[in-house]
Amino acid sequence: MELSCKSEYAILAMLELAVHYQSGEPLQIRQIAAQQNIPDRYLEQLLAILRRGGLIKSQRGSKGGYLLAREPWKITLFEVLGCVEGLDRVHTSEEDQPKTVDGAVVEEIWQEARQAANSVLQKYTLAELCEKRDSRRQLDIMYYI
Tell me: the pLDDT tens digits for 77-94?
Answer: 999 999 998 865 555 455
The model's pLDDT over 105-144, given as tens digits with 9 standing for 90+, comes to 999 999 999 899 999 999 999 999 999 998 888 776 655 5
Task: Tally Cβ neighbours within 10 Å of residue 144.
Answer: 6
Angle at 121 between CA 109 and CA 130, to 5 degrees: 155
| Alpha carbon distances (Å) from 73 to 31, 62, 113, 145 | 22, 29, 26, 32
Is the distance from CB of 47 to CB of 84 less than 8 angstroms? Answer: no
pLDDT value for 37:
95
Q: Residue 100 carries which DSSP code?
A: S
Is the distance from CB of 9 to CB of 38 less than 8 angstroms? Answer: yes
Number of domains in the chain: 1
Tell me which residue range forms the domain holding 16.
Answer: 5-143
- What number of helices (H) and strands (E) belong to the chain? 6, 2
Is the distance from CB of 43 to CB of 33 less than 8 angstroms? Answer: yes
pLDDT value for 89:
54
Q: State yes or no: pLDDT of 96 exceeds 80.
A: no
Distance between CA 141 and CA 48 in Å, rounded? 36
Amino acid at 70: R
pLDDT value for 9:
96
CATH number of the CATH domain containing 139: 1.10.10.10
Does the pTM of the predicted model rise above 0.85?
no
